[in-house]
Amino acid sequence: MMRSLIFCCALLGLAACTAATLPATVMIDGASVVNTEKTLDDHLASWFTGKDCSTVRASLGEKYCEEPPAFVPKIERTTYCYKSLAAVSCYDQPVQRDAARLFGTRSDQVPAN
C-alpha cells in the first residue's frame, strides 16, 4: 500500500511540473475545494487512510483527518396532502374519504428511530 501511495504522489508531482498541465491542475484543485472542501491531495489521503481528510478543516485549526461519521439508517416517509377550502392539509396516512381532493404526495428520507 505504501508503494502505491509513493507512486501516486510521484505521478501527480510529475504531472504538475509541466507548464501545460499546471493551470489545469490548479483549476481542477480549486473546483474540488469549492465543491467538496477538499483538495485533490485530500481526496487521495482520504482514500488511502479511510478517514475524512481536509486541508480546509486543518487551516481552521481542526484535525486534518477525522473518522468518517457513523452510518445512520434511514427510512422513507410519505406525506399525503389534500386540498381544503382555505389551504392544503397534509397527513402521514392516506385519507380514503378525501381521495378526490388529493393534492399530491411527498417522500422524504428520514433517520430511523
**pLDDT tens for each residue of 10-68:** 556 655 555 566 677 788 888 888 888 898 889 999 999 999 999 999 999 999 999 98
pTM for this entry = 0.48
Q: Which residue has the cell 483538495?
A: 39
Q: Let me know whether 80 and 56 are in one domain.
A: no
Whole-angstrom distance, CA of residue 25 vs CA of residue 31: 10
How many domains, the chain?
Answer: 2
Whole-angstrom distance, CA of residue 62 vs CA of residue 55: 9
* pLDDT at residue 98 in the model: 86
Is a pLDDT exceeding 60 seen at residue 7? no
Question: Count of residues for the chain?
Answer: 113
Domain that holds residue 88: 74-111
79 with 109: CB under 8 angstroms? no
Q: Let me know whether 44 and 93 are in one domain.
A: no
Cβ density class 76-93: b for 16+ within 10 Å, e for less? eeeebbbeeeeeeeeeee
